[in-house]
Amino acid sequence: MTDDHTEEPLAFPTGREGQPGRRALLLSGSLGMGHDVMAQACAHSLALRGFSTRTLDSLRMMGGRAGSAGEGVFRGMLAVPGLYDALHFSQMRPGGGLARAIEATSSRFLVPKLRVELRDQPVELLLSIFATGAAAASRIKHEHPRMVTTVFCTDVCVHRLWVHENTDLYLVTSTTAARFVRRFHPEARIAVVPTPVRQPFYDPPTQEAARAALEIPADARCVLLMSGSWGLGPLVEGAQALAEAGIWVLVVAGRNVSLAARLRERANTHPRIIPFGFTDRIPELMAASDLVVTSSGDTCSEARVIGRDLLLLDVVPGHGRDNLQLELDRGRADVTSAGAMSLRRSALAALDRIKPPSVRVVGTPEAWEQAFGAALSQVELANGW
């Protein structure tokens, strides 16, 4: 499960137009917006290198009930405690029989659609940012021997559905992820790259300016509370508990309409709660805060760019638990249990440790571009930047 903040077009800068003959197809997936964020980062970077790109949703390409069932099945598993953990750790990570069946079933729907796409618009590069896309790309690779197949996975423990023998290059964001790829593909060509972050996070407002815009006192303690596009975890109860402790709470519901409504209701009786649904103001909200409370995902990299410490909610099972451990190892992060009182206690302790907040911006967009270009050079596709 990855993060989602905005219904607006994602704010990567626009590259130059692609040159004729250099085309790339990106396969994303509509479980949250995290895959789409990574797809747009790659599309922008490919445009800088002279590619024209198009991005397709692997789940929607499957069509009908097969395409729409993916999110429903995932939500259903999350609703049953322990179910997705069981699937992930017993089947997905080791590549058990059920994982292979999921892969075969999705490919049966996706491969024919992908075959038509590539017949009508051949490409030089096929980049999968979704596991079912990676499986389908591997199955069709032999029909396009000159096409480079690449997979980009930001999970730390890359599970079996991401890894396929006909993949020419893997992009991962940690050395641990590289080793998990080699569990299934020992000869794999792999590049470790930074997690790409959208441009507005490199140019946030000052904390003083952000608080003035949000009408938050300059000397108050303030937390940004969010948990991906689905708003997983105790956001309503947690926001109330923090507000009752005297903390200003910027809380983001993402796509969760019912959660947004409940947060607005709670804000009516707790003026320190400032609720948001979809918003493109996340850089401003992070800048205003002293601490970012969130689940593991792209938000962690964004917060680090702005220079905010993290308190991580242990609410995303399966790969989310793997990714949480990686974020803790990266530093400037603590973890809390999902209960509202545990969240409040951990947040208060974290605020005591980190004041005043850092204003340091960590990393630059150039670090991603250089790493991405070096990765493409491994498959002779790095021209133009």
The phi, psi pair for 143, rounded to 5°, reads -80, -10
Mean pLDDT of all residues in 33-41: 86
Give the CATH fold of the 23-194+364-377 domain.
Answer: Rossmann fold (3.40.50)
- Tokens for 171? 């992009």
Provide the mean pLDDT of the chain: 88
Query: Measured between alpha carbons, how far is 206 from 188 in angstroms, rounded to an integer?
Result: 44
233: left (phi over 0), alpha (psi -120 to 50) or beta: left
Question: In this structure, are residues 170 and 149 in contact, taking their beta carbons and an 8 Å threshold?
Answer: no
Beta strand ranges found along the chain (DSSP E): 23-28, 52-57, 125-128, 148-152, 169-172, 190-192, 222-226, 248-252, 273-276, 291-294, 309-313, 333-336
Question: In this structure, are residues 182 and 188 in contact, taking their beta carbons and an 8 Å threshold?
Answer: yes
- Tokens for 348? 């208060």
Q: Which of 26-35, 59-68, 296-305 is least confident?
A: 59-68
Query: Measured between alpha carbons, how far is 355 from 360 in angstroms, rounded to an integer?
Result: 14
Residue 39: pLDDT band with limits 50, 70, 90: very high
Residue 31 has pLDDT above 80, yes or no: no
Angle formed at CA 163 by CA 161 and CA 168, multiple of 5 degrees: 145
What digits encode the pLDDT tens for the residues 122-139?
A: 999 999 999 999 999 999
Equal CATH topology for 23-194+364-377 and 199-354:
yes
What digits encode the pLDDT tens for the residues 93-114?
A: 999 999 999 899 999 999 999 9
Collect all residues with Cβ–Cβ distance below 8 Å to 314 and sequence separation of at least 6: 321, 324, 335, 336, 337, 338
The domain defined by 199-354 carries CATH number 3.40.50.2000:
yes
Query: Measured between alpha carbons, how far is 367 from 310 in angstroms, rounded to an integer?
Result: 22
Higher confidence at residue 19 or residue 191?
A: 191
Residue 383 has pLDDT above 80, yes or no: no
Residue 80: pLDDT band with limits 50, 70, 90: confident
The pLDDT assigned to 360 comes to 65
Residue boundaries of the structural domains of the chain: 23-194+364-377, 199-354
Rg over alpha carbons for the chain, rounded to the nearest Å, is 21
The pLDDT assigned to 20 comes to 52
> Where are the alpha helices (H) located in 168-233, listed in sequence order?
175-184, 207-214
Question: In this structure, are residues 232 and 316 in contact, taking their beta carbons and an 8 Å threshold?
Answer: yes
The pLDDT assigned to 265 comes to 95
The pLDDT assigned to 68 comes to 56
What digits encode the pLDDT tens for the residues 240-295?
A: 999 999 999 999 998 889 999 999 999 999 999 999 998 999 999 999 999 999 99
14: left (phi over 0), alpha (psi -120 to 50) or beta: beta
Which of 167-171, 255-259, 329-333 ranks highest by mean pLDDT? 167-171
Residue 382: pLDDT band with limits 50, 70, 90: low
The separation between CA 227 and the C-alpha centre of its own chain, rounded to angstroms, equals 11
